[in-house]
Structure 1
Amino acid sequence: MQKKVLIIASSFAFGRPMALRIRAITELFKACGWKVIVYSDVITLEDKKEYDYTMFNDIKTYGLGRQIKGFKKIVLPFLYKRRISNILEIEKPALVFTNSLYDRFFITRKLVKSCPLILESCEWYDPSTYKYGKFSHHYILHTICWKWGYIHVDGVLAISRLIESHYKKIVKNVIRIPTIVDSINDEARVKVNTSKEKKLRLLFAGSLARTKDSIRPYFEALDILEDYANTIFFDICGVSEEEIINHLGYELYNKYKKQIRVYGKIPQNKIPELYSNCDFGIFFRPNQRSSHAGFSTKLGEGMSCGTPFIVNDTGDISLYIKNGINGYIVKNDKDIANVLKEVLVSSDYERSEMREKALLTAKKYFYFKAYIREFEMFINRVMEG
């Protein structure tokens, strides 16, 4: 009989970056011969209906049936406990794989007694991530789980070297897999033809979190570029115009607003098309623990469409982005200005080569199929242990 794995996720199957990672992980399990069941608080499909149960790609998918917001989230762990208990009784999985849900991890650990438990770890939060810092209840719950909860799992899937090295000291079975996608566009645009008028279109797809992603340095670089500045255009999705103004400030926004196209929130399945139509993906992250512990979904999402990136070096980015080969690593606005100028004077052939190398990098490192054998060995060790 085919073994079952229950994947407990915060988001599935579309909508958030984590949803994309979980889709790829379901494909990994299926490639290793497992039957996959998924639980997600909110099941986000293209029809935007709210489900308590549905099928997605032959995967039984359980949810709560409604989205819980604001102060009502206080009841979420209780609803979760009842729902997971019911799923475990019905499905009787041989393995449970869970996101790092710090608000209910101890509930999961208590419920999962008859089979191994694997933790998916892709965040090591810094206090500055939260409005109230170390006094935030989110940070307190995360810290409690980090010190006394997560260490008792049977295996860890880590997204970065920093998280991997932490868990290797305390958990027997650890594997590192960076951001991964469930599909690669083999017909991605790699040819560049800018013979008439050289312009660059940069894409930011995400959220401008208080201590996470920033795009301000790319606009500050335009001030340095002078004559080249009016050849740089920005496509921005995931945030509103108001959020961009708050992020950049009125002066910087007004100066370049004619070069900004704001899409707002768009369906996740539309993002690859935006990447394909843009020349580079961009984001800039602060030098702090949470940046080095995580790994941006944007790299896998964009490079799988043949789109190179201009980013700063946080986490494991330098393992995959090679300057001038498949993208650029920058330190500040001056670096960004130099890179943009270099790209603008480069040939169509050179830029096409970079897009092709970006796609090859995605196939080698950011596609789930690259990790099937390694993942299967990891799962076997967990099950044998």
Structure 2
Amino acid sequence: METSERDGWVAYVGPFRFPWGQASSRRVYGMAGALAVAGHHVVVVSGEHDPELRELPEFVGPGSVRYVGAGETPPAGAGRLAKSAHWLLRWGVRTVRWLDSCPTRPSHVVLYGGDAPYAVHLRRWCRRHGVALIVDVVDWYSPKQVPGGVLGPVYLSSQVALRHLYPRCDGVIAISSYLGDYYRQRGLPVLRVPPTLDVRGLPARAEDDGSDPRRLRVVYAGSPGRKDLLATIVRAVERVDPVGGAIDLKVFGPTAAQVRDLLGGAPLPGAVRVLGSVAQQEVPAALRSADFSILLRRQERLTRAGFPTKFCESLASGTPVIANLTSDLGDYLHDGVEGLICRDHSVDALAAALRRALLLTPQRRLRMRVAARERALASFDLRAYAEPVGEFFEAVRPSERPTVRMHSRI
């Protein structure tokens, strides 16, 4: 399959969906866009089943972004045994096959996700062809987060990749200072890049959006999973406004039944409306309709290593955030400026922050919306990282580290 006739292009590969569909889609979109602004020609090789090479028209000049599916994700209807065998033995093989089909070799391969199987296949290919392999690391899984727990194959694979395979690559792009420090101490070149978006491409929020200053509109958007404390958010809202006359909490993502399960089967409070799943493209509009978004997480390695994309999306939409400080949020969230800081992740702490938010004047809310957007433009717009990303890729070259083979016990 043809890519570009010019040498020096970058392959960004992994089992993610692209250009839409997941938080990982947004991560790769932002990083590929920054590379394009820096003058690189990028081909995103996703796990989807679309072999046609397509172009993202928003990233044309000086570089470009194109994308193609390598078909790594199991087809719909595949059984559990077939999925497991493909993940353990073949994950990454089709991506390598696609790279072999290209008329020219990339200067760099960037690996996002795939854990040990992908890392083994891609590192072997890059060593054979003298191509630099950079890993984009965005998470450190908790055993509670994945099927099988601490002895499950998913957790073991992630640990082999994070601790043993990634340190033997040529460089790391880290989403947080926690991950950046870890790989820097292992002797790798590291560039820290938080989640990035095309902030300039998002419509700016109107200064006067017709909202009722007597009612606080808050929003949660996402999949709670292991990280987000959605039940705590709902309980804090109920404590401050049991009836629903002062606060309107919209929940996007989970179903009403899922939220009730998180509450132990209790009914939804009057201030809470669960609106279910929305397309990723519609999230900015949902955020712009609120006075604040809410993000509450425990302080643990899982949340120190990652960085919430929804935080960046909220500020980019001009919506301040009510959150406790995990990961590197303290670098971007200042109390009373881009949002409100909770002292911890408890119901009491969030309830106190909500009461503060209710007392804000319309003028103060407006200043915070403006500050949120300005912070996003300065800190999360992909163009802000074009120069450091370009310099990092110029500096990272293939090393002579020995190839690490994946043992059968993984």
What's the TM-score, normalizing by structure 2? 0.85
Matching residue of 1:259:
271
Aligned counterpart for 2:159 among listed residues 143, 149, 160: 143
Alignment check: 8 A CA contact 2:292 2:319 kept: yes
Distance (whole Å) between structure 2 residues aligned to residue 268 and residue 226 of structure 1:
30
Are residues 1:7 and 2:7 paired?
no
Mark the CA change 1:328 to 1:228 in structure 2 (over 3 Å): closer, same or farther: farther
Deviation at 1:262, TM superposition (A): 2.6
CA apart distance, 1:375:
1.2
State the AA in 2 paired with 1:377: E
Counterpart in the other structure of 2:60: none
1:194 and 1:37 mapped to 2: Cα distance? 43
Q: Once the 2 structures are TM-superposed, how far is the Cα of residue 190 of structure 1 from its aligned partner?
A: 5.2
**Range with greater deviation from structure 2 (102-111 or 270-279):** 102-111
Structure 2 letter corresponding to 1:23: Y
- Residue 181 to residue 165, structure 1, CA distance change in 2 (3 Å): same
Equivalent residue number for residue 407 of structure 2: none
Aligned position for 2:86: 75
Q: Distance in 2 between matches of 1:111 and 1:233?
A: 53
Displaced runs of 4+ in structure 1, greater than 4 A?
192-197, 226-229
Task: State the 1:303 CA deviation.
Answer: 0.8
Task: Describe the shift of the 1:83–1:326 C-alpha distance in structure 2 as closer, same or farther (beyond 3 A).
Answer: closer
Is 1:23 paired with 2:37?
no
1:343 corresponds, among 346, 357, 367, to 357
**Any unmatched runs of 5+ in structure 1?**
43-49
Q: Secondary structure at the match of 1:236?
A: strand
**Offset from partner CA, 1:171-218 (integer Å, 9 cap, x none):** 331010111113335642252567855112221111121x21122222
* The 10-residue stretch of structure 1 (305-314 or 51-60) with the greater mean CA deviation from structure 2: 51-60
* Contact 2:15–2:73, Cα closer than 8 Å, also in 1: no
Distance (Å, rounded) in 2 between the aligned partners of 1:15 and 1:70? 23
- Which residue of structure 1 lines up, in the alignment, with residue 319 of structure 2? 307
8 Å contact kept, 2:248–2:271: yes
Find the partner of 2:334 among 322, 330, 338: 322
Q: 1:83 to 1:196 in 2, by over 3 A?
A: closer
1:225 alignment partner, one of 222, 231, 240: 240
The equivalent residue for 1:243 is 258
Distance 1:228 1:345 in 2: 18
Match of 1:32 among 35, 38, 63: 38
SS at match of 1:274: helix
1:310/1:195 Cα in 2 relative to 1: closer, same or farther (>3 Å)? closer
Which of the residues 239, 243, 249 maps onto 1:234? 249
Aligned residues: 374
Amino acid at match of 1:119: V
> Residue 132 of structure 2 aligns with which residue?
116
Distance change in 2, residues 1:78/1:279 (3 Å): same
CA distance in 2, matches of 1:32, 1:327: 32
- Contact 1:235 / 1:261 at 8 angstroms: preserved in 2? yes
Whole-Å separation in 1 of the counterparts to 2:259 and 2:220:
11
Partner of 2:217: 201
Report what 1:295 is aligned to. Answer: 307
Q: Is the 8 A contact 1:98 1:117 kept in 2?
A: yes
What is the rounded CA distance, in whole Å, between the counterparts of 1:99 and 1:118 in structure 2? 9
Residues 294 and 70 from structure 1, CA distance in 2 versus in 1: closer, same or farther, beyond 3 angstroms?
farther
User: TM-score of the superposition, structure 1-length normalised?
Assistant: 0.90
Shift of 1:17: 0.5
Residue 280 of structure 1 pairs with residue 287 of structure 2: no
Question: Take 2:279 and 2:149, find their aligned partners in 1: how far apart are those partners?
Answer: 32
Looking at structure 1, the residues matched to 24 and 331 of structure 2 have their Cα atoms a distance apart, in angstroms, of: 21
Alpha-carbon distance, 1:384 to partner = 8.2
**Which residue of 362, 371, 376 maps to 2:385?**
371
Which residue is equivalent to 2:111?
A: 98
Residue pair 2:8, 2:105 contacting (<8 A) in 1 also:
no
Q: What is the distance in 2 between the residues matched to 1:350 and 1:299?
A: 20
CA pair 96-186 structure 1, distance change in 2 beyond 3 A: closer
Q: Distance in 2 between matches of 1:346 and 1:112?
A: 55
Which residue among 60, 67, 70 is the counterpart of 1:63? 70
Deviates more, 1:194-203 or 1:341-350: 194-203
Task: Tell me the distance in 2 between the aligned counterparts of 1:196 and 1:24.
Answer: 35
Mapped contact 2:244–2:272 kept (Cα < 8 A): no
Distance 1:197 1:89 in 2: 60
CA distance in 2, matches of 1:78, 1:148: 20
Shift of 1:67: 4.8
| Structure 1 residue 2: Cα displacement | 5.3
Residue identity in the other structure for 1:268:
Q
Counterpart in the other structure of 1:47: none
- % identical aligned pairs: 24
Runs (5+) with no aligned partner, structure 2: 1-5, 57-64, 400-410
The structure with the largest helix share of the pair is: 1
